[in-house]
A = this chain, B = another copy of it.
């Protein structure tokens, strides 16, 4: 899985953050505001996606390295750094996931986007010759999702100081050495 993998997925997954969508808006305007939510969702998703996309200057050097577990680990550290720098964006994406449980049209749009991103992650991993198979990417994606949800909502459960070693462990336990 590339950093782009999880990052892009997260990005597309976000959208209208509930606190932003309702912040400062009198309750009476909610239904009016709702009509624009899909546009806002797309707009927000594009912005967050852009921010979560790896900076080529940062990871350019990494991508000349062999496609082994060490490179996957480095990309996961880069992903964590970018998520940390975009905490509100990732939390907005979680808000939107919850909104998807209440609004079928949000669910349909997010599902299509997230599934597409996950498939793109898998294809990238396999096409680039990273170690492992399709299931490797899915398990890594799920474990990173769990780590990010835990870290961003209740950071002291895992402990910020333990995260780098935990990312190392997580990749070591799910991705073949290559």
Contacts and interface: CB of A to CB of B under 8 A. Distances in A.
Interface of A: 15, 17-27, 91, 94-95, 97-98, 100-102, 107, 110-111, 114-115, 118, 135-136, 138-139, 141-147, 149-150, 152-154, 156-158, 166, 169-170, 173-174
A135 B97 contact: no
Contacts of A27: 20, 23-24
| A interface, over-half SS | helix
Contacts of A170: 139, 142
Contact of A154 (B97, B102, B149, B174): B97
A100 B15 CA distance: 13
Nearest to A26: B23
A152 B20 CA distance: 23
Say how many copies of this protein the assembly contains: 2
Contacts of A24: 19, 27
Given A91-B101, A145-B146, A139 B17 contact: no
Given A19-B23, A101-B153, A146-B149, 20 more contacts: A15-B18, A19-B24, A23-B27, A24-B27, A94-B97, A94-B98, A97-B154, A98-B98, A100-B153, A107-B156, A110-B154, A114-B150, A115-B156, A139-B170, A139-B173, A142-B147, A142-B170, A145-B145, A145-B150, A146-B146
* Nearest 8 Cβ contacts at the A-B interface: A145-B146, A142-B146, A97-B153, A146-B146, A143-B143, A17-B18, A142-B143, A17-B22
A173 B138 CA distance: 11
